[in-house]
Structure 1
Amino acid sequence: MTNIKLSEQERDNLIKELSIKAKDSNYINPELYTKYEVKRGLRDISGKGVLAGLTEVGEVHAYILDENELVPVPGRLSYRGIDIKEITEGFLKEGRYGFEETAYLLLCGTLPNKSVLEQFKELLSDAQSSKAEFARKTVLHIPSKDIMNVLGRGVLSLYSADQNADDISIENVLRQSIELIACVPLIAVYGYQAYVHQYLNKSLVLHSPQPELSIAENILHMLRPDSKYSKLEATLLDLSLVIHAEHGGGNNSTFTTHVVTSTGTDTYSAIAAAIGSLKGPRHGGANIKVRHMFKDIKENIKDWNDDEAIKNYLTKLLNKEAFDRSGLIYGVGHAVYSVSDPRAEILKSYAEELANEKHVEEEFNLYKKIEKLAPEVIEQHRKIYKGVCANVDFYSGFIYEMLDIPEELYTPIFAISRVAGWCAHRLEELTNAGKIVRPAFKSVAPKREYIPMENR
């Protein structure tokens, strides 16, 4: 090791200098991706994905093939072959919460009857009760400003409490999956309470989960100091958990689950990797961007009924003249859906009811207006290869705000839900014992000779 001592300023200057070299040495000419027919993002220019696997867990359907042409159609999402709209309509019509039966469907492949569902709920409740104290201690020991990092660390810490952590038999992984579905909500909510206490200097309020409550109800019960919530609030949070639980094998975090699982590693490592993927603002954090964008819209447009004023603002967004100057209208557009996102449609129908209950009808109408106008503006100012529509992130952040869920928990709630889908895909990957996932990368670096130190 060198004996040279750098001052803080010298260290900062050196890092800046090295970062310039790192950036220059890692740049790849974008034309080479076209030359070698590399599908960046594993999608071609039409939006069609590169086929990398097979699954029976979930299906995302957004187009049909007509004479070798991709024709966009209204989006459909199915879990184990059952349309998501039928699933949600089924339990809502009966006045039930649906996340638990959805988790069972994803893990086991069939809808449970009444007695089986009650037994499954008992498994979840037992897991919550037995792990609650461990989750509290784990989270309170090292609080963090970012709850997604709390989730990743919390899931990894569960490894140490598992006597069979490395057993990847289907029976053991199913047991671990059930425990994770039950415990991740605890880690998320307790992580938030620890953050509020440590960083915002507020009182630490911790409620234990109640065995008679659904997962959605327990989240609201544990999150709110008075534990009070309305039936509509719990219903809408439960609905959000259901529609976020699964989205096919190709989304980034689920694909990460398949990739990591294919190495033969343990369940906690695989799910922690998926959580790290979901944390990214291009994936799970998009609804936060939507909320921030709408805050800016409300501050800059006086008349929310003025279509021209709204169009002008949306144009400024596209031209990088407004909000974060990214050139994006957040919540509009999707890698797969182009005509409609079924998840957004489901949330929208119930968001209006909650908006009425919370007396924010005007803001909901602004959402509807922008949902209608944004695709028109995008079509006028962008060269697009398929249509664009509002995606699930467009309404989910608005719903979470109406539910008084803090922004720090927006993405963690996504993770709470998606654990069910990740675990289902992990079980599928292990059952079929496929090869380790290892796609090809072509090196485009020029050949160079090693230069001795004295000649550099």
Structure 2
Amino acid sequence: MSLIENFVQNHVDLLKRNDYIDPSLYKEYGVKSGLRNEDGKGVLAGLTNISQIISEKNVDGKKQPCDGELWYRGHRINELIEDLGDELGFEKIAYLLIMGVLPDDKELAEFKTVLGEARTLPANFTRDIIMEAPTGDIMKSMMRSILAYSYYDHNVLDNSVGNSLRQCLELISTFPQFAAYAYHSYNHYKKGGSMYIHLPDPSLSAAENLLSLLRPDRKYTPLEAKILDTALILHMEHGGGNNSSFTARVVTSAGSDTYSTMTAAMASLKGSRHGGANLRFISMMNDIREHVRDWYDRDEVAAYIQKIVNKEAFDRTGLIYGIGHAVYTISDPRKIILKDYLRQLVREKGCFDDELALLENMEVVAPGIIAKARNLPQPPDPNIDFYSGALYYMLDVPPSLFIAFFAIARIVGWSAHRLEELITSNKIIRPAYKSVMKTEA
């Protein structure tokens, strides 16, 4: 054991004793733990024009839960998806979130051309940066790529709105390469698999490029591209209060550069309490598949779900990942959209009927079991992770890339929030902490 390991072992209990704060003090001093009110909803900390989440409405002067709504720049997400039809809309909705309005045909064509040309990485970047230190933590590899990319920017510290917009667009364009190349490098150097480094096609959409970069034969079906495109749109933005978007605004308010801001947001997203939830969902599903013999038997599925809730199975946390949401009380509007695509994908592939049956049985039995165990007023509804995790699994996306796909989408929202913070605010975000330390007389 090294000196530092020995020191830590001998002092960790002292650290825990001196850093512990009695939870009752939060209520005594009126401090909102986690910047959340007692009902779990976030403390109002800012204003935004970018998006809105609605989970309750006033009825006769009283707030009552309602079906969830998600709005992007004054447009319901459900209507935006419906209006796209068969069109791949990542670029159009990215333009909406960043610029504040939907583009006309000419503006959209220009925007697609700009993003397509910006996908080219600097010479030898893949070899010298991404392949140099392969890791299964794709998010960490992407964070390293973001910071390394800044060394190729001659105006890295220019925080003007125009320069920041350029930087954001370049990162939106290059994130798919950062992720795909990181995975292939890890798969080759650490797992002994083959490595495929395909160049992006400027004429393809973000979703098409992602599938093309990831797969050895670069092939995908129109439905696969549409499903991934829709999932990316639904993950783009979710209000300024989510942890990673708030992180982007905090770091921006400090006067930091775009690359540092996005790296900080990535660090937030990779946390198990944020973007890591869909990876936990897949781990849970693998465990359920192993322990439930008949996936069509609703009673057997319910019995094992009960064991998980009772902390007798899986990770012993009692959590059913993918069920319930911190903001949406009744329903997550995003999961309704993905649920339909899940069924379409099962029909096209013709090999996931058993998995679909298991998911549908879980959707029926899990909410009631959770509500009873936690004495909830109403059963929680499946959230977007319940279906996006299953969709990525059926699209043959490696689990190590699940959070990275989230980041490829959410950087659009981060960019919108960074730019709004730069334009709107001139104050550093600096909340206060009440000191409860004991002082010597």
TM-score normalised by L of structure 1: 0.93
Asked if the contact 1:55–1:249 (Cα under 8 Å) also holds between the matched residues in 2, the reply is yes
Structure with higher Rg: it is 1
- Residue of structure 2 in register with 1:454 after alignment: none
- Residue of structure 2 in register with 1:14 after alignment: 7
CA-CA distance at 1:67 after TM superposition? 5.8
Q: Which amino acid aligns with 2:283?
A: H
Whole-Å separation in 1 of the counterparts to 2:405 and 2:307 = 32
- Residue of structure 1 in register with 2:227 after alignment: 236
- Residue of structure 2 in register with 1:153 after alignment: 144
Indicate the larger mover: 27-36 or 129-138. 129-138
Whole-Å separation in 2 of the counterparts to 1:9 and 1:262 = 40
Q: Which runs of 5+ in 2 are unaligned?
A: none
CA-CA distance at 1:10 after TM superposition? 5.9
- 1:43 and 2:44 matched: no
Asked if the contact 2:118–2:173 (Cα under 8 Å) also holds between the matched residues in 1, the reply is yes
Secondary structure (helix, strand or coil) at the match of 1:353 reads: helix
CA-CA distance at 1:279 after TM superposition? 0.3
Partner of residue 26 from structure 2, selected from 16, 20, 33: 33
- 1:447 and 2:439 matched: yes
CA-CA distance at 1:385 after TM superposition? 6.0
CA-CA distance at 1:14 after TM superposition? 2.7
Partner of residue 296 from structure 2, selected from 305, 323, 339: 305
Secondary structure (helix, strand or coil) at the match of 1:226 reads: coil
Query: 1:181-238: CA deviations, max 9, x gaps?
Result: 0011111111111111110122321100011111111111111111111111111111
Q: Which amino acid aligns with 1:160?
A: Y
Q: Which amino acid aligns with 1:312?
A: A
Partner of residue 370 from structure 1, selected from 333, 354, 362: 362
Partner of residue 436 from structure 1, selected from 428, 432, 438: 428
Asked if the contact 1:33–1:40 (Cα under 8 Å) also holds between the matched residues in 2, the reply is yes
CA-CA distance at 1:136 after TM superposition? 4.8
Whole-Å separation in 1 of the counterparts to 2:24 and 2:331 = 32
Partner of residue 112 from structure 1, selected from 103, 112, 129: 103
- Residue of structure 1 in register with 2:51 after alignment: 58
Asked if the contact 2:55–2:67 (Cα under 8 Å) also holds between the matched residues in 1, the reply is yes
Indicate the larger mover: 137-146 or 185-194. 137-146
Asked if the contact 1:132–1:208 (Cα under 8 Å) also holds between the matched residues in 2, the reply is no
Partner of residue 388 from structure 1, selected from 380, 392, 396: 380
Whole-Å separation in 2 of the counterparts to 1:16 and 1:386 = 45
Q: Which amino acid aligns with 1:143?
A: P
CA-CA distance at 1:68 after TM superposition? 6.1
Q: Which runs of 5+ in 1 are unaligned?
A: 1-7, 450-456
Whole-Å separation in 2 of the counterparts to 1:54 and 1:390 = 29
Asked if the contact 2:150–2:156 (Cα under 8 Å) also holds between the matched residues in 1, the reply is yes
CA-CA distance at 1:134 after TM superposition? 2.9
Indicate the larger mover: 45-54 or 98-107. 45-54
Asked if the contact 2:368–2:379 (Cα under 8 Å) also holds between the matched residues in 1, the reply is no
Indicate the larger mover: 279-288 or 372-381. 372-381
Indicate the larger mover: 252-261 or 370-379. 370-379
Partner of residue 217 from structure 2, selected from 226, 229, 240: 226
- 1:183 and 2:174 matched: yes
Query: 1:402-426: CA deviations, max 9, x gaps?
Result: 1111011000000000000000000
- 1:404 and 2:396 matched: yes
Indicate the larger mover: 36-45 or 349-358. 36-45
Asked if the contact 1:147–1:408 (Cα under 8 Å) also holds between the matched residues in 2, the reply is yes
Q: Percent identity?
A: 46
CA-CA distance at 1:321 after TM superposition? 0.5
Label 1:440 to 1:65 Cα distance change in 2 as closer, same or farther (>3 A): farther
CA-CA distance at 1:313 after TM superposition? 1.7
Label 1:416 to 1:244 Cα distance change in 2 as closer, same or farther (>3 A): same
Label 1:313 to 1:210 Cα distance change in 2 as closer, same or farther (>3 A): same
- Residue of structure 2 in register with 1:5 after alignment: none
**CA RMSD of superposed structures (Å):** 1.6
Asked if the contact 2:70–2:77 (Cα under 8 Å) also holds between the matched residues in 1, the reply is yes
Partner of residue 333 from structure 2, selected from 338, 342, 346: 342
Whole-Å separation in 2 of the counterparts to 1:385 and 1:39 = 23
Q: Which amino acid aligns with 2:412?
A: A
- 1:97 and 2:122 matched: no
Whole-Å separation in 2 of the counterparts to 1:377 and 1:123 = 50
Indicate the larger mover: 8-17 or 222-231. 8-17
Aligned length: 440
Secondary structure (helix, strand or coil) at the match of 1:59 reads: strand
Query: 1:60-92: CA deviations, max 9, x gaps?
Result: 11112346643110001111010111111111x
- Residue of structure 2 in register with 1:213 after alignment: 204
Label 1:37 to 1:206 Cα distance change in 2 as closer, same or farther (>3 A): same
Whole-Å separation in 1 of the counterparts to 2:166 and 2:267 = 23
Query: 1:124-176: CA deviations, max 9, x gaps?
Result: 01111254753453211222221100111111111111111111111111111
- Residue of structure 1 in register with 2:16 after alignment: 23
Q: Which amino acid aligns with 2:49?
A: E
CA-CA distance at 1:372 after TM superposition? 2.1
Indicate the larger mover: 403-412 or 45-54. 45-54
- 1:294 and 2:249 matched: no
- Residue of structure 2 in register with 1:195 after alignment: 186
Partner of residue 195 from structure 2, selected from 204, 208, 218: 204
Label 1:250 to 1:136 Cα distance change in 2 as closer, same or farther (>3 A): farther
Asked if the contact 2:335–2:387 (Cα under 8 Å) also holds between the matched residues in 1, the reply is yes
Partner of residue 410 from structure 2, selected from 418, 432, 445: 418
Indicate the larger mover: 169-178 or 271-280. 169-178
Label 1:136 to 1:188 Cα distance change in 2 as closer, same or farther (>3 A): farther
Asked if the contact 2:121–2:174 (Cα under 8 Å) also holds between the matched residues in 1, the reply is no
